[in-house]
Structure 1
Amino acid sequence: MGDLPEDDDGEYDHDFRADPEPYRIGRGEEGVFKVQPYKSELLPLWGYADPETAAEAAEAIYERFLRYRRDDEFVGMDMARKYLRMGYTRAMRYAHYPGGRKYDSDGNERERVHWADAEKRKAALIFDHVRRRLEDDEAYQRRKREWRERRG
């Protein structure tokens, strides 16, 4: 995906719903802020301020995943997975580092605290639970295998 042109906002200048072929699954959360129109559909649903917000966000993203699955939009399915993963990783950062700041002002990694924020840990676990449910989905697994077989 790195060879796709980007617009002024750093998003890919490409509609992945109209033409999903250039999409690459990638690692981790790659593309969550670039792959349109999925970014515009999923980002407003996403939040991790507390367990209640995380539960609402995770379920809304999962419902969107089900819609993408119904419409056979693998890119949307995979982007939903990435947003759930991002909810987990961001909330865990706050769970381990007071204020969510992993690095100090000199750029050195701060000492990790075991559950600096217990509420953020709960939020993270909610996202992780829903992400696992998505990843265990047979249709998602089948489409992911097919996608990789066709695209390497």
Structure 2
Amino acid sequence: MASVLHLYDRVTRLPQGHRIFSVLFSLKAPYFATVRPRFTELRPNYAELTVRKRRRVHNHIGTVHVIAICNGLEAAMGALAEATVPARKRWIPKGMDVAYTAKATSDITCIAQTDPERWTGDDPEVPVLVRGVRDDGTVVVEGVIRLWVTEKPAS
């Protein structure tokens, strides 16, 4: 829905705007707040946020827990979907497939992106490519979140 993108565009012009938007977005699905996502970019077909490496998201070996990263990836995907889905359609996550490819030893940048053509076709399944990247550029998690995108029911 354009309202999330409109809010992002308006709020991020303010001092501390990215932080404010991130807090507001986390209110939409409170479990997003567990990883304190900090959105850095949002546009149709692309969302990026950071999950800071802090004790609250550590696992037993002191790295960022992969489920915390998946929460960040899902937040990025949700923002992307809200910013991209055509007004006449609605979406819901259908599944997530991820691979853990390296240790998450720094803050993690969570990125979600889609092919613009997938939103307009007849296939209701829209794949969102997601990846979590360490500060040094190493991909630590990568995968796909599949969305089910359908027409909104008639009012």
Give the TM-score range, shorter chain. Answer: 0.3 to 0.5
Report the structure, 1 or 2, having the larger helix content: 1
Q: Which has the higher strand share?
A: 2
TM-score normalized with structure 1 length? 0.32
- TM-score in terms of structure 2 length: 0.32
Q: Whose radius of gyration is greater, 1 or 2?
A: 1
